[in-house]
Amino acid sequence: MTRIRVLVVDDSVVIRKVLSDTLSGDPALEVVGVASDGRIALAKIPLLKPDIVTLDVEMPVMNGLETLTALRKLYPKLPVIMFSTLTERGAAATLDALSLGASDYATKPSNTGSPAVAIERVRAELVPKIKALCRVSAPLKLLPLPQARVAGKPRPRTHPRIEIVAIGTSTGGPNALAEVLPLIPKDFPVPIVVVQHMPPIFTRLLAERLASRSFIPIEEGSANVVLSQAHAWIAPGNFHMKVCRSGMACRLDLSQGPPENSCRPAVDVLFRSVAAAYGANVLGVVMTGMGSDGVLGSQAIRDAGGNVIIQNEASSVVWGMPGLVHASGLDDAAYPLDQLATEINRRVMQSRSPSVPMEMNNYATLEPPIK
């Protein structure tokens, strides 16, 4: 098997060694070179021909954002994973990098941790992302689903009134959400709840950035907030977010229960809760992402009578989460990223106004506001 060729770019000698030793310890990976700044990295790329680059955010001479901008002009398809600190500054720079074309990101281990912990963090977080972005991840493995559908007997199509939209996404999600949420109209008649796999700080900054480009308010989720129409909430990093019914209203509940699918927040947790709170009146949306989070939650939505749509493979950065939902037979339809906002709007409006024709496409020309 051809090993994935990795170029490590970081100004820290310690980080370069940790990354090089850890990545090289995986038989599927080969560190073909290192660089201490972006200028050196750009000079090495045509010589080393890496399959993927890990890129530090803060470096002397030429920082990560400057390097990424130059790299994207020369190598638009080369996967790049940003390696940043878990700080406000690091999170902001990482979101900037994603908007400039970075494929994904990983957070640096704390300086206060032991070397063994740092190595395990890199092995657990960075290695799977490298493999997924280089399209050599393990084949899709179906999860054991309760009450799995019988082959050849698809579930009858249903069109219940949609009272909430629940979105789950991971790798590639920040940019995907930036394509969808700004096209939700200000009179959208239901709430939206979102899980994006991200650590603390990152989720708050992501919500703020999306809100600055959108018609509807978008916030990081808070405990006991009452859901309302034309409003979106993003689960905070390191907290599971649930929707719980309280009389006629529904509220957000946050907890730090055990991670599911190695994730907290987890899509499955949110999806199960909206299925329990809203029954059939749920539209689930699974977008680009690595891993299997969202499959069991999609099953819960379908079992309750709701519907699930997914982002298609061609427009996904990684077709792990939506791909497994599809392979498990749990999606009602798949759409390219540039059609998802229109389809969400169409389904919600049509479900609530049956007289509206199914081909309704009133929102296709919406332009996001500039704030």
pLDDT, averaged per 10 consecutive residues of the chain (371 residues), comes to 92 92 94 96 97 94 95 96 88 94 88 74 90 69 51 60 97 96 97 97 97 98 97 98 94 97 96 97 97 96 97 95 95 97 96 62 49 54
* Residue 87 within any structural domain of the chain: yes
Positions marked catalytic: 170, 197, 293
Residue 95 lies in a domain: yes
* pLDDT number for residue 363: 42
What distances in angstroms separate CA 306 from CA 73, 85, 131, 159, 221, one per listed residue? Answer: 43, 40, 34, 8, 23
- The answer to whether residue 363 is domain-embedded is no
Nearest to 321 by CA among 285, 270, 279: 285
- Location of structure tokens 């309760």: 146
Task: Read off the tokens for 279.
Answer: 């029954």
How far CA 10 is from CA of 87, 161, 167, in Å, comes to 17, 51, 34
Q: State the amino acid at position 261 in one-letter form.
A: N
168 and 266 in a single domain? The answer is yes
Spatial contact of 182 and 337, defined as CB atoms under 8 Å apart:
no
211 lies in the same domain as 347: yes
Cα 76 from Cα 279, distance rounded (Å): 44
Residues 129 and 178 in one domain: no
Please report the pLDDT score of residue 150 as a whole number.
40
- CA–CA distances in Å: residue 89 to residues 85, 86, 95, 118, 270: 8, 8, 10, 21, 29
Nearest residue to 216 via CA among 174, 255, 165: 165
Do 110 and 64 fall into the same domain? yes
Where among 113, 133, 153 does a domain terminate?
A: 133
Structure tokens at 363: 């929102």
Flag whether 47 is in a domain. Answer: yes
Report pLDDT for 5. 97
Token reading at 122: 């890199």
Instruction: Look up the CATH number of the domain holding residue 35.
Output: 3.40.50.2300
In a domain, 369, yes or no: no
**For the chain, what is the domain count?**
2
For residue 220, what is the domain's CATH number?
A: 3.40.50.180
Whether residue 179 sits in one domain with residue 286: yes
Task: Name the residue range of residue 89's domain.
Answer: 4-133
pTM of the model: 0.90
Same domain, 126 and 212: no
301 in the same domain as 182: yes
